[in-house]
């Protein structure tokens, strides 16, 4: 099942993927496939645009994030 996410000001598809999935590797392409015509908006998505985020079915390796500033 896909979840709908609204784009914030100056969001890109990569930014939505990072915010929703926590990564972009392997999921950006899936989001573009699930939303025909999304690439036609260009690199910056319009404010409030609804983007369907498909279920994450990829098994791309995830990198552990390290916070250097506490």
Burial pattern 40-68, b for ≥16 Cβ within 10 A else e, equals eeeeebeeeeebebeeeeeeeeeeeeeee
Give the global pTM: 0.76
Percent of the chain with pLDDT strictly greater than 90: 70
Segments making up each domain of the chain, as ranges: 3-53
| pLDDT tens-digit series, residues 8-30 | 999 999 999 999 999 999 899 99
pLDDT of residue 41: 97
Mean pLDDT for the stretch of residues 53-63: 67
């Amino acid at each position: 099942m896909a979840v709908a996410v609204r784009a914030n000001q100056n969001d890109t598809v990569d930014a939505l993927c990072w915010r929703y999935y926590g990564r972009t590797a392997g999921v950006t392409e899936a989001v573009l496939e699930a939303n025909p015509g999304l690439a036609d908006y260009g690199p910056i998505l319009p404010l409030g645009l609804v983007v369907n985020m498909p279920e994450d079915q990829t098994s791309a390796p995830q990198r552990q994030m390290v916070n250097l500033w506490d």
